[in-house]
């Protein structure tokens, strides 16, 4: 079966020449539909650069990236934007909510870009907020919500349009222990529901809760293993 994500010998070089920085140095990676993967690494390891590639937020200096069978490494900004909107739901560490919009309006944003009508947008956004346990907080603005609640709004926004891939960049980085568990439980539920979930993290505790771990050091993949194999070893 063709992988959902296939990365072939990807390099990302900043400042080519004498002072060049090889943020990614020959990455090969395949992720199948329905996988639950953590990409783990310390600050400066290249994990955020890899997330930008996987999320079509940036293009590699060299190498190929096939998403759903399409080579996206050579696309224009507009084409990349279109793919991001259709294929990927993003969750960021800093929530990235719009301060003057309430929860349901924030969730509706990506649906506007998809050209959905007002009633349909509202129905989908309400359902997504109920799914993350915020049915009673729809009219609240971000400033009226806790950090954990804001991140749940961000999760609802990511899943509202039902993208095949959920890409979460340090989704629990700003949260306390209880909120971290809530967000991880939601992400586990999305995976059980058939979504491909990719978490970018520096936290081993988070990585231990997913099925597959890809460890990146100095722009290269150092380890790629299944947690259950480790536990049985």
pLDDT in tens, 143-186: 999 999 999 999 999 999 889 999 999 999 888 999 999 999 99
Q: pLDDT, tens digit, for every residue of 78-91?
A: 899 888 888 999 99
Q: pLDDT, tens digit, for every residue of 81-140?
A: 888 888 999 998 888 999 999 999 999 998 988 889 999 999 999 999 999 999 999 999
Q: What is the pLDDT of residue 94?
A: 85
Name residue, tokens 């003057």.
100
Residue 233 has pLDDT above 80, yes or no: no
Q: pLDDT, tens digit, for every residue of 38-62?
A: 999 998 899 999 999 999 998 899 9
Q: What is the pLDDT of residue 203?
A: 94
Name which residue leads in pLDDT, 65 or 1: 65
Q: pLDDT, tens digit, for every residue of 3-50?
A: 999 999 999 999 888 888 999 999 999 999 999 999 999 988 999 999
The rounded distance, in Å, linking the Cα atoms of 218 and 167 is: 21
Fold classification of 35-54+80-232 is: Rossmann fold (3.40.50)
Q: Where are the domains of the chain?
A: 35-54+80-232
The separation between the first and the last C-alpha atoms of the chain, rounded to the nearest angstrom, is 28
Q: What is the pLDDT of residue 196?
A: 96
Cα atoms in the Cβ-side hemisphere of radius 13 Å centred on 56 = 28
For the chain, give the longest Cα–Cα distance.
56
Q: What is the pLDDT of residue 230?
A: 65
Residue 64 has pLDDT above 80, yes or no: yes
The rounded distance, in Å, linking the Cα atoms of 171 and 108 is: 20
Q: What is the pLDDT of residue 174?
A: 86
Name residue, tokens 């997504």.
128
Q: What is the pLDDT of residue 231?
A: 56
Closest among 108, 76, 47, 228 to 84, alpha carbons compared = 76
């Amino acid at each position: 079966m063709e992988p959902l994500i296939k990365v072939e010998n990807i390099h990302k070089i900043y400042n080519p020449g004498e002072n060049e920085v090889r943020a990614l140095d020959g990455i090969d990676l395949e992720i199948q539909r329905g996988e639950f993967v953590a990409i783990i690494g310390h600050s400066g390891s290249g994990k955020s650069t890899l997330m930008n590639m996987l999320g079509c937020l940036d293009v590699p200096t060299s190498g190929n990236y096939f998403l759903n069978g399409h080579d996206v490494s050579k696309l224009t900004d507009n084409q990349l934007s279109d793919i991001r909107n259709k294929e990927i739901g993003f969750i960021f560490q800093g929530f990235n909510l719009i301060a003057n919009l309430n929860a349901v309006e924030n969730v509706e944003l990506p649906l506007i870009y998809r050209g959905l009508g007002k009633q349909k947008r509202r129905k989908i956004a309400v359902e997504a907020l109920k799914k993350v346990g915020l049915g009673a907080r729809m009219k609240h603005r971000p400033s009226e919500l806790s950090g954990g609640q804001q991140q749940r709004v961000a999760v609802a926004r990511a899943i509202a349009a039902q993208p095949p891939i959920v890409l979460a960049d340090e989704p629990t980085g700003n949260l306390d222990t209880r909120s971290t568990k809530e967000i991880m439980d939601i992400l586990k539920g999305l995976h059980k529901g058939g979504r491909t979930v990719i978490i970018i993290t520096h936290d081993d505790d988070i990585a231990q809760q997913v099925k597959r771990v890809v460890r990146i050091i100095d722009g290269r993949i150092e380890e790629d293993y299944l947690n259950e194999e480790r536990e049985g070893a």
